[in-house]
Structure 1
Amino acid sequence: MNELRLSKRLEAVASNILEKSVLADIGSDHAYLPCYAFLKGYITNAIAGEINEGPYRSAVEQVAKSDLQEVIEVRKGNGLEVIAPNEVDCITIAGMGGTLITTILEEGKSKLQGVRRLILQPNIGAINIRRWLMDHGWQIVSETILEEDGKIYEILVADRGKPQANYSNLEAGLLLGPFLLKEKNQTFIKKWTHEKQHWLAILSNLEKAEMTNENSERKRELEQKISIVEEVLNE
């Protein structure tokens, strides 16, 4: 992977970037994504944000190596603190857990002024992101699920708009994704078949354990998820 050739996962993220936009790539690592997006003509400028010193240095070196210092600025900082309100119109956050991505969005809410599109690729916990988007005036406009190197990834693309419009069945939509649910491709079926088996194993252990309030709540939550997934897979 380099600035001219991304992984399948990051290529899918890049393909959703708004044309001729100013991009902020948060948790940019080697800054491959913003470099690629500029060289492909998707964006006019970018900010690559990175909190850790090692990846920050890698990003600075990559931008210099690609001779893109004039158009891509690497900034060190936590989450959205690397950008100012109205500075960018498209944000990518890829390769983190859904809870962390949600925290970054929540803590950086004031920086989202002027942003028209969010492209979010959680490794796990996409439900947390969907909930946050729905509660904060963002509408999911497309979703992708893909497998790469034995791992399954979901990519959520959200624009400012009426969020509820997507969800005919709220709980299923939040858990499985309104678009992915409609498409139900092989990767989707593989992911949720595996998740269901994993939850059934946890449930079986819980049933053998002492039934505390916490265990009872967890059991109810798992049963609800299993029921949602079974219904969708059996349709």
Structure 2
Amino acid sequence: MSQIKLSPRLQAVADLVETKQKVADIGSDHAYLATYLVESGRVAEAIVGEVAKGPLDNAKKTVANSGLSTKIDCRLADGLFALKAEDRVETVVIAGMGGLLIKKILNDNRALGPFQQLVLQPNTDQDAVRSWLVANGYRISQEQLVEEQPHRYEIIVAKPGQEELSDADRIFGPILRKEAGPIFQAKWQHEQARLQLVLDRLEEANQKTNAKYQEVAAKIAQIKKELHS
């Protein structure tokens, strides 16, 4: 039983990690997730990658305080460059970053892949992450939305494979949009309302012929279609 208490977001990420020998957490937020996974027996070993010394020291402190320094290796490196082929990492977790940064991390050292499992939690630009996955030999196996007020987070799990995604799949998530649960509805209703405010301001400024106006209007129409509203 782990002594670490995870936030709802990180707990959802942890629950999606398959039981494996070794997991890597890139950008670890004090190594809480890696510590929880090892303490709870979900994984045998973990590697924590941090790009700056301060966060690395925080991660090492958490690991040392938990008595897991022999099972969790904290490394200073940029993204996936914290890993080597001989590490035999099966699952990679990248959570709590922008989608474009996650895409860059995956792309910078993609020769290491494909990994047996990717658990990704992009805060933004989820469509860019999904596009990268299908273009680089992965299929989306699971998706989950978790609410941690005032935010709603998308978690994308991928495994080696091939699939094609429509534009709507990339934006809304192929699994999330099929389930269309209450958190999904709330997330996109909120986004629709936010975009409508932008559109109203552009209209007040007589910008209806502006490319930005057309772009925002198209996004609103796409959300309305998805929500059948």
TM-score by length of 2: 0.92
Residue 102 of structure 2 contacts residue 122 of structure 2 at CA under 8 Å; is this kept in 1? yes
Change in CA separation of 1:206 and 1:31 when aligned onto 2, cut-off 3 Å: same
Aligned to 1:91: 92
Q: Is structure 2 residue 21 aligned with structure 1 residue 27?
A: no
> Following superposition of structure 1 onto structure 2, how do residues 3-22 of structure 1 map, counting pairs within 5 Å?
3-22=3-22
Aligned to 2:190: 194
Q: Is structure 2 residue 172 aligned with structure 1 residue 171?
A: no
Q: 1:181 is matched with which residue: 156, 171, 177?
A: 177
Q: 2:224 is matched with which residue: 203, 224, 230?
A: 230
What SS does the corresponding residue of 1:139 show, helix, strand or coil? strand
Q: CA RMSD in A?
A: 1.8
Q: How much does 1:26 deviate?
A: 0.3
What SS does the corresponding residue of 1:178 show, helix, strand or coil? coil
Residue 20 of structure 2 contacts residue 91 of structure 2 at CA under 8 Å; is this kept in 1? no
What SS does the corresponding residue of 2:159 show, helix, strand or coil? strand
Instruction: Give the count of matched residue pairs.
Output: 226
Change in CA separation of 1:3 and 1:221 when aligned onto 2, cut-off 3 Å: farther
Q: How much does 1:24 deviate?
A: 0.6
Tell me, in whole angstroms, the C-alpha distance in 2 between the residues paired with 1:180 and 1:20: 25
What letter is aligned with 1:111? L
Q: Which runs of 5+ in 1 are unaligned?
A: none
Aligned to 1:59: 59
Structure 1 vs Structure 2: percent identity of aligned residues? 38
Q: How much does 1:163 deviate?
A: 2.4
Residue 35 of structure 1 contacts residue 72 of structure 1 at CA under 8 Å; is this kept in 2? yes
Tell me, in whole angstroms, the C-alpha distance in 1 between the residues paired with 2:78 and 2:200: 40
TM-score by length of 1: 0.90
Tell me, in whole angstroms, the C-alpha distance in 2 between the residues paired with 1:224 and 1:137: 30
Residue 196 of structure 1 contacts residue 226 of structure 1 at CA under 8 Å; is this kept in 2? yes
Aligned to 1:143: 143
Residue 117 of structure 2 contacts residue 160 of structure 2 at CA under 8 Å; is this kept in 1? yes
Residue 29 of structure 2 contacts residue 59 of structure 2 at CA under 8 Å; is this kept in 1? yes
Q: Which runs of 5+ in 2 are unaligned?
A: none
Tell me, in whole angstroms, the C-alpha distance in 2 between the residues paired with 1:51 and 1:35: 19
Q: How much does 1:8 deviate?
A: 1.1
Aligned to 1:50: 50
Greater shift, 194-203 or 117-126, is seen at 194-203
